Amino acid sequence: MAAQRGEGETTTTPAEPADRERARAIPEAAVARLAVYLRALSGMADQGVTAVSSEELSQAAGVNAAKLRKDLSYIGSYGTRGVGYDVEVLVSHIERILGLTRNHSVAVVGIGNLGHALANYGGFPGRGFPVTALFDVDADLIGIPVGGIPVNHIDEITAICLEREVSIGVIATPPPAAQSVCDRLVSAGVQCILNFAPVVLQVPDNVEVRKVDLAVEMQILSFHVARRADEAAGVSVDNNGLGVDGMVSRP
């Protein structure tokens, strides 16, 4: 990286990709891992560790060392060859890249089973994600404080989100309500949404949605159980199981 010319990206620029697209220089997958590295590094810092090698950190994060180094290279060269990385320096750079240098106010919508757990969870505020607003439709809940924050009626969502500068909306309502809640959040200027409802949300291009779908997670696990069972049973391998008449010619 030292003697590089002002080109920035070394790759042979292919034709003409939209300039704005250039922005996403860091692969999404790498971003997710950076968050994991950050947590491992924070833990180390708390224990007084000041330096770490890619080998050690990769172990703590459960990834390949080469991959870790490549991930870090996306954000710059902050290591010292022959030594490793300074924990604090790395922490601050990852925090900068992830946009953690400022707080991101969070609103939770749907204060049922899951909403209560989220609102009571102490792990977010400490990490720069203060929960500042809670919403529901249930009259019995309005005004009741959960995790120190009183629940507001969903109809106040626009005003309150703007006022409290909510940047992340969490949807924990029943599936049928999810899309409408999502629309309201978007109208209120919220551009990031974390969705727990098992529904595919429709949003404008400028809004980022991430979903946490426990049923899907379980089903993926189930798939692996089934595959393992099949393997053990010696069922050679054709996904066409159910041989009934599914097997036709395949040259």
Ligand X SMILES: NC(=O)c1ccc[n+]([C@@H]2O[C@H](COP(=O)([O-])OP(=O)(O)OC[C@H]3O[C@@H](n4cnc5c(N)ncnc54)[C@H](O)[C@@H]3O)[C@@H](O)[C@H]2O)c1
Partner DNA sequence: TACCGCTTGTGAACGCATGCACAAAGTCGA
Partner DNA sequence: TCGACTTTGTGCATGCGTTCACAAGCGGTA
Amino acid identity of 64? Answer: N
**Contact letters for a copy of itself, residues 196-215 (x by CB under 8 A):** --x-x-x---x-x-x-xxxx
Which residue from 36, 39, 45, 53 is in contact with DNA, where contact means CB under 7 A?
53
Greatest CA span in the chain, whole angstroms? Answer: 68
8 A C-beta contact, residue 167 and residue 155: no
Q: Give me the amino acid identity at 156.
A: E
**Which of DNA, a copy of itself, ligand X, none is residue 83 near (CB under 5 to 8 Å by kind)?**
DNA
The count of other CB atoms within 10 Å of the CB of residue 220 is 10
Q: Which of residues 210-239 bind ligand X (CB under 6 A)?
A: 214
Dist CA 55 CA 67 (whole Å): 10
- Phi, then psi, of 194 in degrees rounded to 5: -110, 115
DSSP state for residue 187 in the 8-state scheme: H
Q: If binding means CB under 7 A, how many residues of this protein chain bind DNA?
A: 35
Is residue 12 a contact point for a copy of itself (CB under 8 A)?
no
Question: Among 55, 155, 208, 217, which residue sits at the site for DNA (rule: CB under 7 A)?
Answer: 55
Q: Is 36 in the site for DNA (CB under 7 A)?
A: no
Say which entry of ligand X, DNA, a copy of itself, none residue 41 contacts (CB below 5 to 8 A, set by partner kind): none
Q: Decide if residue 65 touches DNA (CB under 7 A).
A: yes
* Strand stretches in 72-220, DSSP E: 79-80, 84-86, 105-109, 131-136, 145-146, 149-153, 166-171, 192-195, 208-211
3-state secondary structure of 20: helix
Using CB under 6 A, which of 57, 71, 135, 169 touches ligand X?
Answer: 135
**What separation in angstroms does the CA of 178 have from each of 115, 182, 210, 216?**
13, 6, 13, 17
162-201 residues in contact with ligand X (CB under 6 A) are 172-175, 177, 180-181, 196-198
Phi, psi of 3 (to 5 degrees): -85, 35
Does position 66 interact with DNA (CB under 7 A)? The reply is yes
Question: Per DSSP, what are the bridge partners of residue 136?
Answer: 153
Length of the chain: 251
Stretch that binds a copy of itself, among 45-53, 137-145, 157-165, 185-193 (CB under 8 A): 185-193
Binding site for DNA (CB under 7 A): 1-3, 5, 7-8, 10-12, 14, 27-30, 53-55, 63-67, 69-70, 72-73, 77-85
Binding site for ligand X (CB under 6 A): 109-115, 117-118, 121, 123, 135-138, 154, 172-175, 177, 180-181, 196-198, 214
